[in-house]
């Protein structure tokens, strides 16, 4: 395992030119191409590809293609989660999605962070910061979750929002940058509750 791969795995700054990273990326590209292939694919085949691609897939997870990621094996998705069309999960660090999460179309979960210093950025330095989505979160269409962000359980993030800071459990957040607009009460839980 190369030095840059070890640095990435440790959450340190690294250069993404490591042979192991290239091999992992090639593996991901092949699996994503199979998963995203046009035409019908039996559900059990799609599930088998997901289980090979991702680090952990809970029961009843549904991800509509196309789905894209950096490596795949840093992604863990809890049972009953639904991911709509066009998701991009850049997993240069762990991305953890809880159980029963609803993810709208074209959502991006972004772990990579690039250097602010222009010389370091030009040289290609980056690092990954973990992204964590709690149980029963709803991310509306087009939401972007930035590196190092944690979103607490039962939180709703409005469509098109950009989440740059942690959000606590049980709130509604909207905007760019996403701001908490209110705490969600039990009466907003849905039908029959």
Q: For residue 31, is it within any domain?
A: yes
68 is catalytic: no
Q: Is residue 109 part of a domain?
A: yes
Q: Is the pLDDT of residue 192 over 90?
A: no
Question: Distance between CA atoms of 37 and 65, rounded to whole angstroms?
Answer: 8
Q: Pseudo-torsion of CA 81, 82, 88, 89, nearest 10°? A: 0
What was the pLDDT predicted at 115? 92
Q: Is residue 129 part of a domain?
A: yes
Whether residue 150 is contained in a domain is answered as: yes
User: Between helices 19-36 and 43-53, what is the axis angle to 10°?
Assistant: 170
Coil, helix or strand at residue 63: strand
CA distances from 155 to 6, 36, 93, 187 (A): 34, 29, 22, 14
Percent of the chain with pLDDT over 90: 83
Cβ-proximal residues to 60 (8 Å cutoff; 6+ apart), any chain: 79, 80, 81
pTM: 0.94
CATH number for the domain harbouring residue 85 = 2.160.10.10
Question: Considering the domain boundaries, does residue 192 fall inside one?
Answer: no
The tokens describing 78, both together, are 């809890």
Identify the pLDDT of residue 2. 79
- pLDDT band at 188; cut points 50, 70, 90: low
Q: Is the pLDDT of residue 66 over 80?
A: yes
Total number of domains in the chain: 1
Question: Could you tell me if residue 78 is left (phi over 0), alpha (psi between -120 and 50 degrees) or otherwise beta?
Answer: beta
pLDDT at 125 over 70: yes
Name the residue range of residue 13's domain.
3-187
Residue 133 has pLDDT above 90, yes or no: yes
Please say if the pLDDT value at position 136 is more than 90. yes
pLDDT tens digits, one per residue of 145-163: 999 999 999 999 999 999 9
User: Is the pLDDT reported for residue 112 higher than 50?
Assistant: yes
In a domain, 193, yes or no: no
Which residue is it, tokens 């590809």? 49
Residue 154 placed within a domain: yes
Q: Is residue 112 part of a domain?
A: yes
Tens digits of residue pLDDT in 1-10: 678 888 998 9
When pLDDT is cut at 50, 70 and 90, the band that residue 127 belongs to is very high
């Amino acid at each position: 395992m190369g030095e840059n791969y070890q640095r990435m795995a440790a959450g340190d700054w690294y250069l993404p030119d490591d042979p192991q990273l290239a091999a992992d990326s090639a593996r991901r590209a092949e699996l994503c191409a199979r998963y995203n292939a046009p035409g019908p694919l039996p559900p059990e085949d799609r599930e088998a590809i997901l289980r090979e691609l991702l680090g952990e897939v809970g029961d009843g997870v549904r991800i509509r293609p196309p789905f894209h990621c950096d490596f795949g094996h840093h992604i863990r998705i809890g049972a009953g989660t639904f991911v709509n069309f066009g998701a991009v999960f850049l997993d240069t660090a762990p991305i953890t999605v809880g159980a029963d999460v609803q993810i709208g179309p074209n959502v991006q979960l972004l772990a990579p962070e690039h250097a602010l210093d222009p010389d370091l950025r030009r040289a290609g330095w980056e690092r990954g910061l973990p992204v964590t989505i709690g149980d029963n979160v709803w991310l509306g269409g087009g939401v972007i979750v930035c590196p190092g962000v944690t979103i607490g359980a039962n939180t709703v993030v409005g469509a098109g929002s950009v989440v740059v800071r942690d959000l606590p459990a049980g709130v509604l957040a909207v905007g760019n940058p996403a701001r908490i607009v209110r705490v969600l009460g039990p009466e907003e839980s849905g039908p029959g509750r």
